[in-house]
Amino acid sequence: MLLPRILAPVRAAAKSPLIPSSRVLDVLRHPNGSAAHAPAPALSFVRHASHQAQGRANGAKDGPGKRLGAKKAGGEYVIPGNIIFRQRGTAWFPGENCKFGRDHCIFATESGYVRYYKDPLLHPKRQYIGVALEKTDKLPYPQNAARRRRLGFVAVQNEPQPKELDGQTVVADLQVGGATGSETSITATARNATTLTVGKGYAYRHANYDIGRVAERANVQVKEFVPGDRWAAWRKSQARKKRNEEAKKLRNAGKKSAKPKARKRRGP
């Protein structure tokens, strides 16, 4: 709908001899209406809303897959620590015998059979992943029934305790004997030197107390320390200082000896 007032410049343009009839409507295209007399140079560049024009403007859309999803299917046998489901966020919650990992992955805490289930009595909307202890069990377990638990321990008979010598006392696993040199002292108590114990995981090793007594077995004699012998102490410290000096010289042998820095004089 064109109002008569809007068309007024068109009418004026039609009357004017300067404008050909085919360009009459151009006067409407220019807001000031005087375009016909002095055609302005058109702006060739326009700035629109800012938008990055280079690179991947909206972030990478197609990165490497994170290998999320179910690692164990329903009914599959798992052992403690097995990861059952990897996810971002909490699409699944840990149910019976399961726990969240630090990235919300769900792992088993008992060995058993994986179950994917809902427990409306616990939470109306959540879906859970659980581990049933028996293959025939269904999850969730009945609400007020006693928990099904597994002991996870075996009973073993204790080894008979080593026989105690006369006069030897053991206080809370700490063996305390007579004074050093007596027959019941710790050092005098016979131990099997050749026993090897299994160390961490794989290697056989001597027990620490065994290693500590190697010198004793090899009959290594150590000069006895005499407290208060200042003469010996002085000789020792002199020897040490000399040794250190030698070592320093050797260390600095390759380097150019720097000039000793001029000391700043203090005061006037």
Partner 1 sequence: MAPVKPSARQFSACFRCVRGDASFNGAPRRFLSSSAAREELQTTSSTSPPPPPSSTPVDAAKDAAAPKETPEYMKQWGDLDPNAVELKRDERRLIRREGIQPIGSRRRRAIIARDSAAKAEQIPFEQLPYQCFQEARKVLLADREGKLKDIKTQITRIENLKAQDPAVSGGEAKKATRLRSMQNHLNDLIVLADINDPLVKKKFEDGEGDMNKPIYRYLADQKWRKWKRLVLEQRIEQFNLVPDLLPALDPIADVDLAFGRKNIPIGDFVDSAISENPPRLNVQTFERGQKLVTVVVVDADVPVPEKDSLTYRCHFIASNIPIAPDQTSIALSRIQQQSRKTENVDEQQVALSWSPPWAHKGAPYHRLAIFVLEQKDAKALNISEIKNEKRDGFILRSFVDRKQLKPIGVTLFRTKWDESMEGVMQRNGLEKEVDVQFKRKKIEPLPYKRRTERMR
- Name which of 24 and 72 has its Cβ closer to partner 1: 72
* Residue with smaller CB distance to partner 1, 77 or 209: 77
Strand partners, 188: none
- The verdict on 200 binding partner 1 (CB under 8 A) reads no
Q: Does 262 bind partner 1 (CB under 8 A)?
A: no
Residues 6+ apart with CB under 8 A from 194: none
Contact flag: residue 184 with partner 1 (CB under 8 A): no
Contacts of 178 (CB under 8 A, 6+ apart): 167, 168, 184, 185
Query: Which residue, 13 or 78, is less far from partner 1 as judged by CB?
Result: 78
Examine residue 221 and tell whether it contacts partner 1 (CB under 8 A): no
Give the shortest CB-209-to-partner 1 separation in angstroms.
23
Question: Is 175 one of the binding residues for partner 1 (CB under 8 A)?
Answer: no
Question: Would you count residue 149 as binding partner 1 (CB under 8 A)?
Answer: yes
Say how many residues touch partner 1, by CB under 8 A: 22
Q: Is the CB of residue 79 less than 8 Å from the CB of residue 114?
A: no
Task: Label residue 252 left, alpha or beta by phi (over 0 means left) and psi (-120 to 50 means alpha).
Answer: alpha
Is 218 an interacting residue with respect to partner 1 (CB under 8 A)?
Answer: no
Under a CB-based contact definition with an 8 Å cutoff, are residues 68 and 98 in contact? no
- The answer to whether residue 136 forms part of the interface with partner 1 (CB under 8 A) is no
**Distance from C-alpha of 237 to C-alpha of 230, rounded to nearest angstrom:** 10
Binding segment for partner 1 (CB under 8 A), chosen from 10-18, 155-163, 189-197, 244-252, is: 155-163
Are the C-beta atoms of residues 141 and 95 closer than 8 Å to each other? Answer: no
Residues near partner 1, by CB under 8 A = 77-80, 82, 111, 143-147, 149-158, 172
